[in-house]
Amino acid sequence: MRNHASHSRILRLAFIPAAALAAAAAPLQADDWPQWLGPKRDAVWRETGIVERFPASGLQAVWRTPVSSGYTGPAVAGGRVYVMDRVRAAAAADPGSAFQRGDAPSKERVLCLDERTGAVLWQHEYDCRYTVSYPAWPRATPTVADGKVYTLGAEGHLRCLDAASGKLVWSRHFKTDFGAGTPMWGFAGHPLIDGRRLFCMAGGKGSLAVALDKDSGEVLWRALDAKEPGYSAPMIFQGGGPQQLIVWHPESLNSLDPETGRLFWSQPFESRVGLSVAMPRQLGDRLFVTAFYNGPLMMRVQGEPPAASVLWKGKSSSEVKTDGLHSIIPTPFLEDNHIYGVCSYGQLRCLKADTGERVWSTLQATTADGKETRWGNAFLVKHGSRFFLANEKGELILARLSPAGYEEISRAKLVEPTNRDPGRLVVWSHPAFANKRVYARNDRELVCFSLAAE
């Protein structure tokens, strides 16, 4: 009887598809969001099993954890959430206007939370005197890789911490180590890891861009001069030839050899008030940047040997009378020969990548009552055929963006706007998408919502 039962069971299993057996045996995998703009730093969320639309009753929080002020977006990796904030000294006062520099004793903190519950597992803090305008926050999203988390504070404090314990592995300070001056709105270029190298926008003579050994903090090379580093993050351009490290600062767009820091090519492109902010984006053999005052620039990049030429650029240097895409905060999204991004007064726009010609424009996703708002903002993340847009009102919007127009599917509230620096209440922190969840923060709390399909 035992042999007959075993034989019958084997026969039944034989009729189960091999793929189904493999799926049953394999653990379910969830994607992390370990750095600025996600795993590939391209603002694409690749997990499946995500909601088609939000419930009519809204999204229900999985957890909420108190945090202090910050625009730093969260990073999610290995079942943990990493975020930075600032705690101002009790007796310290920021300047009366957010447009003025201050001098306030503060502490910057790195917080590590349990991804499932939001419980704080550890925190790392250090003294940090805030001399920047818009002083409420550290700026850069943590970068998590190989058991370490890398953080950059508003005053140039670079930390490498053990991701499990929060123990300090090594540190650098851009002001003391490289002679950099604090930019008007602080250091904001999200650190980038490629192989053993950690790339940063440091500033200082001959050190605008630096490569550090990610495990020891040793300086591998320094490159470029400019009055200030700007606020944009470096990126890797991969074309037909060697890899190129793209560095955009307020005076020019540059391509460097990632291994040595040697300059491949440079294109002058001045940004008024130092506002090089949005990260450069690649579309095939093209490279796109956009500035608040000076508008867009599209380059064609050649791989062998590395070189580049201007395809087109905007003609307007006014943030009011714009003729392309004049973005100040959010990084645009490029696909199917089109550019999607948020312009100077909150206009969500679609442009032709070949010419920069505008295809359509809408205020529906970004501003209140359809009125143009200076620095109006929303962050764009692609998911399948749709986009998630997190706007400055603390809303998450699910929509389709195509050359045919803007098609909203649904929207839900995530957090309340709490920051008053631009003269209105805003949320200017990029959310993270991981484990079929969204993680968002304001100056009071970090929240987690499930976006899993039932």
Which position has the token pair 């199917």? Answer: 336
The whole-number average pLDDT for the span 259-279 is 96
Strands 244-249 and 235-237: antiparallel
Report the pLDDT value the prediction gives residue 8, as an integer from 0 to 100: 37
Question: Any idea which of 300-304, 407-411, 427-431 has the lowest mean pLDDT?
Answer: 300-304
Report the pLDDT value the prediction gives residue 1, as an integer from 0 to 100: 37
145 contact partners, CB below 8 Å, separation of at least 6: 34, 35, 193, 214
**Long-range contacts from 254-258, C-beta under 8 angstroms, 24+ separation:** 254/209, 254/224, 255/301, 255/306, 255/308, 256/209, 256/223, 256/224, 258/194, 258/197, 258/199, 258/211
CA-closest candidate to residue 339, choices 322, 329, 328, 326: 326
| DSSP code for 426 | B
Global confidence as pTM: 0.92
For 173, list phi and psi in degrees, rounded to 5: -130, 115
Report the pLDDT value the prediction gives residue 17, as an integer from 0 to 100: 38
Whole-angstrom Cα Rg for the chain: 23
Q: Percent of the chain scored above 90 by pLDDT?
A: 84
Report whether pLDDT(243) > 60: yes
Question: Any idea which of 101-105, 124-128, 129-133 has the lowest mean pLDDT?
Answer: 101-105
H or E element: which one contains 243? none
pLDDT in tens, 298-335: 999 998 899 999 999 999 999 999 999 999 999 999 99
CB 437 within 8 A of CB 395: no
Report the pLDDT value the prediction gives residue 197, as an integer from 0 to 100: 98
> How far is the C-alpha of 96 from the C-alpha of 143, rounded, in Å?
33
> How far is the C-alpha of 235 from the C-alpha of 30, rounded, in Å?
25
Q: Percent of the chain scored above 70 by pLDDT?
A: 93
Output 103 or 5, whichever has higher pLDDT: 103
For 426, list phi and psi in degrees, rounded to 5: -140, 160
DSSP labels, 23-78: HHHSPP----B-STTTTTTSSB---SSB-SS--TT-PPEEEEEE--B--PPPEEET
CA 70 remoteness from chain centre: 14
> How far is the C-alpha of 414 from the C-alpha of 397, rounded, in Å?
10
pLDDT in tens, 329-378: 999 999 999 999 999 999 999 999 999 999 999 999 998 788 999 999 99
Output 15 or 252, whichever has higher pLDDT: 252
> How far is the C-alpha of 379 from the C-alpha of 37, rounded, in Å?
10
Please count the other Cβ atoms lying within 10 Å of the Cβ belonging to residue 293: 18
For 224, list phi and psi in degrees, rounded to 5: 75, 150
Quickly state the pLDDT bin for 18 (edges 50, 70, 90). Answer: very low
Report whether pLDDT(21) > 60: no
Mean pLDDT estimate for the chain: 91
The whole-number average pLDDT for the span 8-13 is 34
Report whether pLDDT(10) > 90: no
Report whether pLDDT(413) > 80: yes
> How far is the C-alpha of 181 from the C-alpha of 454, rounded, in Å?
51
Please count the other Cβ atoms lying within 10 Å of the Cβ belonging to residue 454: 5
Report whether pLDDT(136) > 80: no
Report the pLDDT value the prediction gives residue 349, as an integer from 0 to 100: 98
Question: Encoding tokens for residue 315?
Answer: 């003609």
Amino acid letter, 188: A
> How far is the C-alpha of 15 from the C-alpha of 120, rounded, in Å?
48
For 301, list phi and psi in degrees, rounded to 5: -110, 130
User: CA end-to-end span of the chain, whole Å?
Assistant: 43
Report the pLDDT value the prediction gives residue 9, as an integer from 0 to 100: 35
Give the C-alpha distances (Å, rounded to integers) separating 270 from 21, 147, 295, 297: 58, 38, 10, 11
Q: Which CATH architecture has domain 179-324?
A: Beta Barrel (2.40)
Report the pLDDT value the prediction gives residue 19, as an integer from 0 to 100: 34
pLDDT in tens, 216-231: 999 999 999 999 999 9
For 256, list phi and psi in degrees, rounded to 5: -120, 155
Report the pLDDT value the prediction gives residue 305, as an integer from 0 to 100: 92
The whole-number average pLDDT for the span 173-190 is 96
pLDDT in tens, 393-407: 999 999 999 999 999
Report whether pLDDT(81) > 90: yes
